[in-house]
């Protein structure tokens, strides 16, 4: 562990669990000391983050079947689904990591489910038809779409 002239010690329990006891540095330290501290703090924050997975409360396996049942591939290319590769609507490849749904809604489970239930709520000019999808089916379809990262 690198130690600098004593003045301030930073010690965090979550860092101790990773084998980092503490960092001591001098306030009169050089620019490299400050860069090192900022880097270590940012790395510690990044390491403690957990990737969140959107929760749709749906079943991805059922969603995959419903995508075929509702004929979504007639208009969309959907990875993992056999059938036509439609080009009327956008490809749904990587849809889980896109920031927006239909170019307008923040991409989250609630918005995706609502969009699948009634696409015209986003825009009356939307060409995606209302397919009469039931709420539980929309959650299942959304669950499958969130596997497409």
Both structure tokens of 1:
């562990």
Q: Would you put residue 57 in left (φ > 0), alpha (ψ -120 to 50) or beta?
A: left
Residue 43 is predicted with a pLDDT of 65
The total of other beta-carbon atoms located within 10 Å of residue 126's CB is 17
- Residue 56: closest CA among 149, 148, 146: 146
Domain boundaries, the chain: 8-48, 60-145
Each of the 149 residues of the chain gets a pLDDT tens digit; together they read 444 444 445 555 555 555 555 555 555 557 776 776 777 666 665 554 444 556 678 999 999 999 999 999 999 999 999 989 999 999 999 999 999 999 999 999 999 999 999 999 888 888 999 999 999 999 999 999 999 99
108 and 96 in contact (C-beta within 8 Å)? no
Q: Enter the CATH code of domain 60-145.
A: 1.10.760.10
51 and 34 in contact (C-beta within 8 Å)? no
For the chain, what is the radius of gyration of the CA atoms? Answer: 24
């Amino acid at each position: 562990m690198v130690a600098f002239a004593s003045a301030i010690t930073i010690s965090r329990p979550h860092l101790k669990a990773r084998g980092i006891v503490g960092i001591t540095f001098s306030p009169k330290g050089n620019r490299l000391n400050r860069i090192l501290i900022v880097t270590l703090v940012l790395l510690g924050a990044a390491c403690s983050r957990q990737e969140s997975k959107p929760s749709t409360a749906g079943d991805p396996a059922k969603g995959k079947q419903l995508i075929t049942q509702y004929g979504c591939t007639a208009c969309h290319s959907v990875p993992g689904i056999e059938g036509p590769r439609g080009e009327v609507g956008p490809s749904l490849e990587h849809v889980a990591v896109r920031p927006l749904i239909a170019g307008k809604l923040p991409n989250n489970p609630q918005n995706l489910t609502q969009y699948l239930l009634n696409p015209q709520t986003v825009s009356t000019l939307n060409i995606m038809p209302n397919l009469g999808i039931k709420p539980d089916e929309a959650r299942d379809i959304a669950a499958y779409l969130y596997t497409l990262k």
